[in-house]
Amino acid sequence: MKFLSLSTLLLLPYTLSFSLPPPSSISTPITSTSLSLHPPRDPSETLTSTEFNQYVQTTYGRYPLTISHGEGCTLTDTEGKTYLDFVAGIATCCLGHSNPSLTSAVSTQMSKLHHVSNLYYIPSQGMLAEWLVKNSCGDKVFFCNSGAEANEGAIKLARKHAISKGATDPVVLTAVNSFHGRTLGALSATQQPKYHKGFTYGGKMVQGFKPVKYNDVSDLEKQFRKYNRTPFKDWVRGRKRRVAAIMLEPLQGEGGITPGDKEYFLRARSLCDATGALMICDEVQVGMGRSGTLWGYQNISPTFTPDVFTTAKALGGGVPIGAMIAGGKASTVLGPGEHATTYGGNPLACAAGLAVAKELSGGVLENVKSRGEELKGGLEGIKGKYGDMVEDVRGWGLLMGLELKEPNMAGDVVGRCMKKGLLLVPAGLRVVRFVPPLIVKKEEIEEAVRIFGEVMEDIKEEGMGK
């Protein structure tokens, strides 16, 4: 009797699983040899939501609202109804809508030169980098297109820095309830398992990211000690595990508008200083003036600075651009060919960035501080009146969150406010987020608080939230 070899038996399941179908059963896409293309619609035409969903992937849960145009903090839909915008493109349209300076800068640049790639010098890129460096703790800038890309760059920088010091297994510590982006590396750094579902390999995301509790010094120290040493089983194989970086948001945005504690961040800084690890701050949402200072880390302590920080969203006022800024030893880690981007820092995006920089340098931060205090005061008043429904009010500047006591209530409140002409956005299931343009006026703050108060009163009268 002839028996199959052990190696054949081991391979048999894979052979059976991956048997290819006969050529005749493979479908072939329909192609055309014609060079004529189906023309696009004229943008002035209308498009129904059914037609939209026919062609666009359903990766977003969209509200039944189509915006036609905007000015300042006011948006107008296709039916002519106006809305007070306290979303700002999710903390992005820092100068509001149809800002004359931003519009002029982008239009002028578009008429001259919009893209050439980073094969050549781009003066406006250097000018924007200079502004970022002179107004931060950084020394050099890498430009990209989004916050996720900026964070990917920071992660790569941290890994290369640790590996250059002898580590084979560099670990980046990130906080529970953090959010760092949707690309695979940034998503792996995001310590919210609900975002990981369906994107793992063997049940795991990209390796090398470990969770720490936010604002918990004891847990930070514990996890740092744990991951800054090599397990014996790996050591005997020549491996070396080290903490490459601690990566934190100065204020957690998507995680519920939770500001960082001074003691926690200073301890993170001291752990990095003692071991050579890098301190990274994700400023994608809180940065560019939204907190009342240019950078969120400046709210922590005058003595706290990161080695690397990232920014995007408001950097271009709505035009896609991101940046990863590094200081000191971190600024020279990446060399030619080790990180790159096609679009990052092109003339069009940098023209927008310079227009935003000019506006922020001209007094916008003072407005953020004043309006932020008024917004917080108004929301505190609502908390005092509806304490049976409101758990907390927290945030910095014009990045405010009102936490509701009932689970899954934030979405309902946001929807009710929309019907009354106020646009807000949830930050989790229980927190309503207030992120208006940084140029918002006192009377617009008052109107937003008034509408929100009406909604809370409606809910109270209906007997909800008790």
- Residue 142 within any structural domain of the chain: yes
Say whether both 93 and 120 belong to one domain: no
Among residues 316, 345, 374, which one ends one of the domains?
A: 345
Q: Distance between terminal CA atoms of the chain? A: 78
pLDDT tens per residue across span 94-113: 999 999 999 999 999 999 99
Q: At how many degrees (to 10) do helices 347-359 and 123-134 cross? A: 30
pLDDT value of position 361:
97
CATH number where 163 lies:
3.40.640.10
Longest dimension (CA), the chain: 92
- Residue 78 within any structural domain of the chain: no
Are the beta carbons of 251 and 296 closer than 8 angstroms? yes
Band of the pLDDT at 34, cuts 50, 70, 90?
confident
CATH number where 410 lies:
3.90.1150.10
Say whether both 226 and 304 belong to one domain: yes
Say whether both 255 and 176 belong to one domain: yes
Q: Is the pLDDT of residue 433 over 60?
A: yes
pLDDT value of position 16:
46
Long-range pairs, 429-433, Cβ under 8 A, ≥24: 430/256, 430/391, 430/403, 430/404, 430/405, 430/406, 431/256, 431/257, 431/401, 431/402, 431/403, 431/404, 432/401, 432/402, 432/404, 433/253, 433/257, 433/399, 433/400, 433/401
Say whether both 166 and 261 belong to one domain: yes
pLDDT value of position 62:
92
Band of the pLDDT at 411, cuts 50, 70, 90?
very high
Say whether both 308 and 368 belong to one domain: no
Nearest alpha carbon to residue 455 among 414, 407, 424: 414
**pLDDT (mean) for 82-100:** 98
Give the Cα separation of 317 and 200 in Å (integer): 34
Integer-rounded Cα Rg, in Å, for the chain is: 25
- Residue 197 within any structural domain of the chain: yes
pLDDT value of position 35:
87
Are the beta carbons of 212 and 175 closer than 8 angstroms? yes
**pLDDT (mean) for 105-126:** 98
Q: 327: Cβ–Cβ under 8 A, 6 or more apart, which residues?
A: 136, 137, 138, 139, 140, 305, 306, 307, 308
Among residues 345, 375, 401, which one ends one of the domains?
A: 345
Rounded to 10 degrees, the C-alpha dihedral 82/85/90/94 comes to: 120
Q: What percentage of the chain reaches a pLDDT higher than 70? A: 92
Band of the pLDDT at 10, cuts 50, 70, 90?
very low
- Residue 21 within any structural domain of the chain: no
pLDDT value of position 33:
65
Nearest alpha carbon to residue 314 among 153, 121, 87, 135: 87
Give the Cα separation of 235 and 237 in Å (integer): 5
Q: Is the pLDDT of residue 14 over 50?
A: no
pLDDT tens per residue across span 154-208: 999 999 999 999 999 999 999 999 999 999 999 999 999 999 999 999 999 999 9
**pLDDT (mean) for 103-125:** 98
Say whether both 195 and 237 belong to one domain: yes
Hey, what are 312's tokens? Answer: 């995007």
Say whether both 176 and 282 belong to one domain: yes
Give the Cα separation of 461 and 454 in Å (integer): 11
Say whether both 451 and 320 belong to one domain: no
Say whether both 91 and 144 belong to one domain: no
Q: Is the pLDDT of residue 294 over 60?
A: yes
Give the Cα separation of 235 and 253 in Å (integer): 38
Host domain of residue 129: 116-345
pLDDT tens per residue across span 212-229: 999 999 999 999 999 999
Among residues 345, 377, 412, which one ends one of the domains?
A: 345
Nearest alpha carbon to residue 435 among 235, 290, 294, 314: 290
**pLDDT (mean) for 313-324:** 98
Band of the pLDDT at 378, cuts 50, 70, 90?
very high
Which residues, in sequence order, are bridge partners of residue 324? 142, 310
Q: Which residue has the higher pLDDT, 11 or 451?
A: 451
Nearest alpha carbon to residue 386 among 394, 396, 378: 378
Residue with tokens 């987020």: 433
Q: Is the pLDDT of residue 376 over 70?
A: yes
Band of the pLDDT at 416, cuts 50, 70, 90?
very high
pLDDT value of position 28:
58
pLDDT value of position 463:
84
- Residue 457 within any structural domain of the chain: yes
Q: Is the pLDDT of residue 141 over 80?
A: yes
Residue with tokens 């510590």: 173
Are the beta carbons of 128 and 317 closer than 8 angstroms? no
Hey, what are 131's tokens? Answer: 């502004």
- Residue 40 within any structural domain of the chain: no
pLDDT value of position 26:
58
Say whether both 195 and 319 belong to one domain: yes
pLDDT value of position 260:
98
Q: Is the pLDDT of residue 9 over 50?
A: no
Which H or E run contains 227? helix 217-227
Nearest alpha carbon to residue 67 among 98, 41, 95: 98
pTM of the predicted model, to two decimals?
0.92
**pLDDT (mean) for 306-334:** 98
pLDDT value of position 24:
58
Lowest average pLDDT, out of 34-38, 285-289, 411-415, goes to 34-38
Say whether both 177 and 300 belong to one domain: yes
Which residues, in sequence order, are bridge partners of residue 322? 144
Give the Cα separation of 432 and 393 in Å (integer): 10
Single-letter residue type at 286: V
Give the Cα separation of 292 and 251 in Å (integer): 13
Say whether both 170 and 235 belong to one domain: yes
Into how many domains does the chain fold? 2
Q: What percentage of the chain reaches a pLDDT higher than 90? A: 90
- Residue 329 within any structural domain of the chain: yes
pLDDT value of position 2:
53
Q: Is the pLDDT of residue 18 over 90?
A: no
Phi/psi zone of residue 230: left (φ > 0), alpha (ψ -120 to 50 degrees), beta? beta
- Residue 335 within any structural domain of the chain: yes
- Which sign, positive or negative, has the C-alpha torsion 117, 120, 121, 122? negative
Q: Is the pLDDT of residue 4 over 90?
A: no
Rounded to 10 degrees, the C-alpha dihedral 368/374/377/379 comes to: -80
